[in-house]
Structure 1
């Protein structure tokens, strides 16, 4: 059996278990928001003067896709829009009180996830950790290349 046939099902299982754990550990009020919406909220909470261009770049998504997410978040009252006094053309976004609660919960969830998994990695020896680190570096480079290629097709 080839390694790709062995590893791909393991990755599928890993992603599915991560998804189950995320759903089990997330607060009920996060359930009405998709992955992209929560990550958009996260960036709006972190960036200075976030706009569609900045968000699409950081999330590796098209401006059109970000605009759709923004529309949903505005409807759900998680964000609000504003313009700068010296630039009436560009539209920026900031979190509402509801959005700040979602932002904070997302950060807590990530911290809990990191702490949970840190316990596992502390059990591994340095040689295994180095091998895993090298593999993940290469796999992330591969995934980044795929993202860039797909973004250029749109």
Structure 2
């Protein structure tokens, strides 16, 4: 059993190393460049959320993305500067600011949705290689790993 655990650990390390290497390559190849600007995954996800849910603010975006409010502020600042989103004040409460997509933002959301669907299709195709029991084990492992990461991050 111990050697199997070591094989899993080695496979996980290989996966992480390969994924990071690909991310660096994508970054240097300007794979996330749109409108002449390099975008973060967080910025793409904010745009996607605003496409689905109009009038979201920093608090709702932070909660949906499971990131801090300052991280949302940093991401939205660039989106505002580049004309992807715009601010809209609440009629009843002028202090409360919501974000809405501009026309450029709508275009970016459509591109993100297309890329997201392509990635989803690739993952589903990959998962076709496993039976139901194996998939349940994968789910258990990924949920356990995610919870561990969240708990470590809370310390």
Q: Is the 8 A contact 2:54 2:100 kept in 1?
A: no
Instruction: Give structure 2 stretches of 5+ with no counterpart.
Output: none
TM-score by length of 1: 0.79
Question: What TM-score do the two structures reach when normalised by structure 2?
Answer: 0.79
Tell me if structure 1 keeps the 8 A contact 2:56–2:98: yes
Distance 1:6 1:146 in 2: 21
User: Residue 136 of structure 1: CA displacement?
Assistant: 1.4
Deviates more, 1:68-77 or 1:29-38: 29-38
Q: How far, CA to CA, are the matches of 1:62 and 1:101 in structure 2? A: 26
Gaps of 5+ in 1: none
Higher relative contact order (CA closer than 8 Å, sequence separation 6+): 1
Question: Are 2:42 and 1:36 aligned?
Answer: yes
In structure 2, the residue matched to 1:56 is 62
* C-alpha spacing 1:18/1:145, structure 2 compared with 1 (3 Å): farther
- The structure 1 residue matched to 2:137, chosen from 115, 131, 138, is 131
Question: How many equivalent pairs are there?
Answer: 148
Q: Tell me how far 1:139 sits from its aligned partner.
A: 1.5
2:152 is the counterpart of 1:141: no
Distance 1:43 1:87 in 2: 23
Cα contact 2:44–2:112 (8 A) shared by 1: yes
Quote the offset at 1:106 in angstroms.
Answer: 0.9
CA RMSD, 1 decimal: 2.8
**Cα gap change, 1:91 to 1:45, in 2 (>3 Å):** same
Match 2:77 to one of 52, 68, 71: 71
Question: 1:82 offset after TM fit, Å?
Answer: 0.6
